């Protein structure tokens, strides 16, 4: 095992200890929250502090293969592996000349056919996979009662922009064209994702609208990156010390879209799409201490101004809290998102 992976695994006992301490004790240990995120959960403060002081190498300082391995181990250290009544089925999806792996999560309480969420994982377009997001998606499926199809799109730098966008659009179009393969009801197929996956979900909606294709019935955007060219205040306020750093974000962008001018493209920065009218209803979940917070909230504001039905909530946590299922407040946030998803898809009328 590489030394960095071993060190990351040693973080697991610390994370587990945060999950077992009462909140008043955590608050005492954490001290005052940062001024830019006054409601930040104590468990989040302590995890951020631990991460900042960790001897682990930074993701951006590693070769891509080593960075992926470290990310996988870091995600595992904050995940709670639960035996939830959710079954999984493996699929492959056509996307041009390539085939994409996908995993379908079917909660026990789901009807024989029902709504479906097509989901894209986070990881800066460079890291992450079906495996890194298995624990949170099992929880999301169980808590919402909604089937979720997790899609492995191609990653940079081996496959730079627009490969991930092409894969995401192709995956959704395949599911929408053949919903019976996934026990999904036509017209009740949503799209969603976290971080880079949230970006892809937003772009899928915009791209399908441009093409005049059937749209998702709903978009679930969890701390999405919506602006890769300019910076919002939260990106400066939380540039260091809160899990996702400025250096790491630059590393992701340089691998995904090395041409800086190309980052103005709405398929890279969905906030730059001038007309957001006619897009699907959305829920935008942001995190209080997250460099991406302000651009996600601005996207929600722009959608609302364009007449799109939008709900938004700022979770008192860090970027990546969806994966932190071992931490009580983070897990509560995921369950809250599941409630939003369930309510939104229950409101979508069935096709006759």
pLDDT at residue 48 is higher than 60: yes
Average pLDDT over residues 203-223: 98
The catalytically annotated residue of 51, 69, 150, 195 is: 195
Measure CA 163 to chain center. 18
Q: Which residues contact 206 (CB under 8 A, 6 or more apart)?
A: 266, 267, 270, 273, 276, 279
Task: Read off the pLDDT band of 69 (50, 70, 90).
Answer: very high
pLDDT at residue 21 is higher than 50: yes
Residue 251: how many CA atoms within 13 Å on its side-chain side?
16
Report how far apart the first and last C-alpha atoms of the chain are (Å, whole number). Answer: 55
Torsion of CA 97, 209, 272, 266, to 10 degrees: 10
pLDDT of residue 8: 60
pLDDT at residue 268 is higher than 70: yes
Average pLDDT over residues 187-204: 99
Please provide the average confidence, as pLDDT, over all residues in the chain. Answer: 95
Average pLDDT over residues 263-278: 99
Tens digit of each residue's pLDDT (9 = 90 or more) over 144-171: 999 999 999 999 999 999 999 999 999 9
The catalytically annotated residue of 290, 294, 315, 317 is: 290
Q: Which CATH number fits domain 86-346: 3.10.20.740, 3.40.50.1820, 3.40.50.2300, 1.10.10.350?
A: 3.40.50.1820
- In this prediction the pTM is 0.96
How many angstroms separate the Cα of 333 from the Cα of each of 139, 192, 258?
Answer: 11, 16, 34
pLDDT at residue 6 is higher than 60: no
Active site residue 290: yes
Tens digit of each residue's pLDDT (9 = 90 or more) over 124-139: 999 999 999 999 999 9
pLDDT of residue 1: 45
Locate CATH 3.40.50.1820 in the chain. 86-346
Average pLDDT over residues 58-73: 95
């Amino acid at each position: 095992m590489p030394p960095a992976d071993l060190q990351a695994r040693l973080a697991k006992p610390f994370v587990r200890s945060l999950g077992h301490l009462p909140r008043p004790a955590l608050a005492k240990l954490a001290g005052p929250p940062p001024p830019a995120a006054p409601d930040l959960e104590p468990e989040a403060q302590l995890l951020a502090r631990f991460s900042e002081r960790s001897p682990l190498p930074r993701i951006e300082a590693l070769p891509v293969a080593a960075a992926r391995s470290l990310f996988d181990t870091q995600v595992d250290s904050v995940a709670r592996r639960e035996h939830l009544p959710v079954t999984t089925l493996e699929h492959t999806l056509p996307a041009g000349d390539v085939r994409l792996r996908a995993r379908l999560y079917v909660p026990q309480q789901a009807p024989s056919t029902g709504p479906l969420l097509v989901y894209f994982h986070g990881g800066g377009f460079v890291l992450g996979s079906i495996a890194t997001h298995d624990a949170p998606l099992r929880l999301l499926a169980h808590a919402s009662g909604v089937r979720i199809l997790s899609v492995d799109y191609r990653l940079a730098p081996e496959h730079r922009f627009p490969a991930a966008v092409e894969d995401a659009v192709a995956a959704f179009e395949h599911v929408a064209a053949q919903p019976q393969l996934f026990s999904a009801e036509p017209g009740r197929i949503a799209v969603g994702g976290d971080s880079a996956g949230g970006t892809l979900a937003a772009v899928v909606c915009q791209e399908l609208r441009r093409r005049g294709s059937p749209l998702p019935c709903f978009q679930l955007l969890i701390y999405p990156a919506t602006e890769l060219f300019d910076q919002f205040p939260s990106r400066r306020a939380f540039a260091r010390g809160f899990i996702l750093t400025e250096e790491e974000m630059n590393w992701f962008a340089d691998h995904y879209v090395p041409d800086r001018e190309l980052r103005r493209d709405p398929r890279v920065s969905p906030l730059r799409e001038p007309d957001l009218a006619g897009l699907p209803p959305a829920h935008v979940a942001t995190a209080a201490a997250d460099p991406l917070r302000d651009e996600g909230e601005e996207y929600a504001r722009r959608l609302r101004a364009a007449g799109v039905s939008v709900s938004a909530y700022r979770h008192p946590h860090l970027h990546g809290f969806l994966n932190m299922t071992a931490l009580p407040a983070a897990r509560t946030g995921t369950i809250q998102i599941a409630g939003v998803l369930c309510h939104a898809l229950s409101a979508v009328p069935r096709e006759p």
